[in-house]
Structure 1
Amino acid sequence: MFVHVVDEEIYLKLVDQNDAVRLFELTDRSRSYLREWLPWLDDTNSVYDTRNFIKHSRDGFARHKNMNTAVVYKDEIVGIAGFNEFDWINRSGSIGYWLDKHYTGHGIIVRSVKALTNFAFTELKMNRVEIRAAMGNLKSRAVPERLGFQHEGCIRESEWLYDHFVDHAVYGMLAKEWK
């Protein structure tokens, strides 16, 4: 089982089926907050849907395709952060994250993403880490900006968000730039 200590308050652990009820509760209570920027909320209507996400995540991890971890803050799961995708040929990974609305403002995601980025460069020997966020999602965009990622551009109409397309800001960090 993958567990990565971030600091004295936070650790990341590979999602497993025992987390399904808690993750669904977080999703459900933060539904309107998360729905503004995440396209999967309408497809997550029960613990069963969350169990399917976890199964897909575990299968992807076993095939070295992704790594979704539960963010554990003060011994409570508060969200998800991890690698949505690994590109082993090009030695790059794409980080994604979400947090329950009740836990925002504590630097939890910034610290978690910093730890994931460091893990990518030191343990996985990646050359590049990428983060994408909707152009209008200033809170999500602040995460890579605070960590010194380079804003590399905009992918126009990159994602269908319920009834409209949104542009994505693309941020990148190279191993040689990471301090």
Structure 2
Amino acid sequence: MFIHKIDESVSLRLIELNDATRIYELTDESRHYLKEWLPWLNSTTQVEDTEKFIKGCLKGYAENISLTTVILLNGVIVGVAGFNTIDWSNKIVYIGYWLGEEYQGKGIMTKVAKALTNYAIHTLMLNKVEIRAAVHNYKSRSVPERLGFKYEATIRQAEWLYDHYVDHAVYGVLADEWKELV
């Protein structure tokens, strides 16, 4: 099982099927807040939808093409983060993440993204880590900015968000750059 202790209160653990109820509850509690930037809230209306998501995550992990973890704060699941895609042929990983609303603004996601970047570069020996966020999602964009990722591009109309398109800001860091930053 993948588990990584970041500090005395924050850790990452490979997502498990028995996490479905807590993740669904966290999603439901933060539904209005998360819906501003995440496109999957309308299709997550019951625990079974979260179970289906987790099964897909575990399949991706077994096939070595993704890694989805739960974010634990003092042992309680407060969000989800991981590698949405691991592109082994190009040695690139794409980080995605979300936190429940009440856990925002505590520096948790910056710690998580830093730990995932370290894991990608130092353990998996990948060359690049990329994080994308909607252009106007300043909270999400601040995570790679705080970590020293470089802004690389804006992808126009990158994602359909319920009733409109949003552009994505793309941030990346290369292995040699990361080794200089940390």
Structure 1 length-normalised TM: 0.99
* Residue 74 (structure 1) shift: 1.0
Q: Distance in 2 between matches of 1:113 and 1:70?
A: 13
Give the equivalent residue in structure 1 for 2:59.
Answer: 59
Give the equivalent residue in structure 2 for 1:86.
Answer: 86
Q: Distance in 1 between matches of 2:26 and 2:63?
A: 27
**What residue ranges of structure 1 are gaps of 5+ in the alignment?**
none
Residue 90 of structure 1 aligns to a residue whose secondary structure is coil
Give the equivalent residue in structure 2 for 1:76.
Answer: 76
* Residue 5 (structure 1) shift: 1.1
* Residue 132 (structure 1) shift: 0.2
* Root-mean-square deviation (Å): 0.5
Structure 2 length-normalised TM: 0.97
Give the equivalent residue in structure 1 for 2:136.
Answer: 136
Q: Distance in 1 between matches of 2:76 and 2:84?
A: 22
* Residue 85 (structure 1) shift: 0.3
- What amino acid is the match of 2:177? E
Over the matched positions of the two proteins, sequence identity in percent amounts to 55
1:23-74 CA-to-partner distances (Å, cap 9, x unmatched) read 0000001000000000000000000000000000000000011101000011
* Residue 11 (structure 1) shift: 0.7
Which 4+ stretches in 1 moved above 2 angstroms? Answer: none
Give the equivalent residue in structure 2 for 1:10.
Answer: 10
Give the equivalent residue in structure 1 for 2:32.
Answer: 32
Residue 148 of structure 2 aligns to a residue whose secondary structure is coil
Count residues with an aligned counterpart.
Answer: 179
Give the equivalent residue in structure 1 for 2:167.
Answer: 167
- What amino acid is the match of 1:47? V
